[in-house]
Structure 1
Amino acid sequence: METHIAEIADGIYRLSTYVAEIAPPAGFTFNQFLVLGEEPLLFHTGPRGMFPSVRAAMARVMDPANLRWITFGHVEADECGAMNEWLKVAPRAQVAHGRTGCFVSLNDLADRAPRMLDDGEVIDLGSSKRIRYLDTPHVPHGWEAGLYVEETSGTLLCGDLFTQLGNGPALVSSDIVGPAIAAEDMFKSSSLHPSMGATIRRLADLKPQRLALMHGPSFEGDASAALLALGDYYDRQHQAQAA
C-alpha cells in the first residue's frame, strides 16, 4: 500500500491511497488533506490500517509530531479511524469537530478531549491559512456531518460529496458531477432528505475555487456550478423517492 502526495493549492496537500480491491475494476481512492501553517491541520485521518502509509507520506512534507489539528467530516472509519494513532504521534494535536459529533461520539472516542466547534467558527492556522467549520447535518450522511473551507485559497474540504470511482489525477478541471452520480447510483450512500439539495447549494454560495474530494480527484474550476448541479440531482432523487 502506497500513499501518494500532491500539492493541490498553496500549502494544501492531498495524500491519496488507491485500493484496487474496492469497487473493481475501477478501484477507489482514500484521500486526506494536509493544510500547512503555524498550526498544521489534517482533514481525514484515514482508517487505522492505512496509518503507517499516510504517516510516511506526511513525513515527506512535515514532521507528523508537529501536527496541531485533526478534523474530519463525520464519524466513520475512513474519516477518523486513525484518530488516536495521530494523537499518539503528535503530542500537541487536538481533534476539532462540531458539537453534535463531540457530544455523541468524540468526547468518548478521542484519547484527548476534542475542541467543539460552532457553525461558522474559524480556526486560524497561521501563515494566512484559516479553516471555517460548516454544519451540514445528514449531508452527505451522518447527523454530525460537517465540512470545512480554507478561506485563503477558497478550498472546500468536501468529504464524501462528489465521491467517484477510479484513480485519476490529483487535480482535474473536467466534469465531477457525472462520475459522482454514477457512484451514488452504485453505492446509494447518501441520506436523502428534503433539505439535502438546499444544504449543498448553500455551499455554492461560498464561491469556492476548488473542491477537495475524499474519494476521487480534487477539482479546480467552476466549483459553485458543480455544487449547484449536485444539489439539483439530490433534489430530483428525493422527489422520486417520495413519489
Structure 2
Amino acid sequence: MKISMIHIFVTIILVAAHMAIAESDMLQDFCVADLSNGLKVNGYTCKDPAKVTADDFYYVGLASAAATGNNTMGSVVTAANVAKVPGLNTLGVSISRIDYAPGGLNPPHLHPRASEAIFVLEGRLFVGFLTSSGQLISKHLNKGDVFVFPKALLHFQQNPNKAPASVLAAFDSQNPGAQAVGPSLFGANPPIPDDLLAKAFGIGPMEIQKVKGKFPAKK
C-alpha cells in the first residue's frame, strides 16, 4: 500500500512535536533557584545541589490572613512564587493567598504567563473574567467553591458582603506575573500620551489627567 506525502508530512510533524515536548521535560530532579545570581535567563540559574535544603521548598506565608485595612482596594495578595520558594524554579507551578476585607476588590487584572484556579477558603465572592470578544463570564462563589480564570484574560474578584473572605489561588507558572488595568494604562512610566488615552476612552484630556492622578507612575 502506498503511503501518501500528506501521511509522511503529518508523521514528521507529530514526531517533531513529540521531540520538542521531550526536550522541555525535566533533565534533573530539581533546579532550585539561585536568587543571588545576577545572570538573566528565562527563569533562574540552578543553585548548587550540595547547598539545597528543605527550606528551599518550604514557605509559611499563607497560613494567616493578611491585614487588608491599609489597602485602598480592600484586598491583599500574598504570593508563594519562585521568589519566595526557590524550589519552584522550572516546576511550572505556584500558589497565592488573597484576602478581602468586607467590600474588598481585587481589581481587573491579568496574568500574562498563567491560568489561575481559586478555592474559596472563607466567605463569599463575586468573580468573573472577560473573553476576547467582550463577554463577561461571572459567578457568585461560596466557601469551598472552585473557579478558573483562563490564561491572560482580564478577571476580578469582589467581596460584596459584610464579612471578610479569602481564597487560595493556584497557577501553572512559577512566576505568573500580574498586570492591573488602571495602573498599567494610567500609571505607565514614561506616561502614555493624554490625547491617545482620551481618544481610546472617548473622554477629554482633562478627565484623563484626573484619572492619572489616582495612579502615580512607578519609578
**Shared fold per TM-score greater than 0.5:** no
TM-score by length of 2: 0.28
Q: Which has the higher helix share?
A: 1
Q: TM-score, normalised by structure 1?
A: 0.26
Which has more radius of gyration? 2
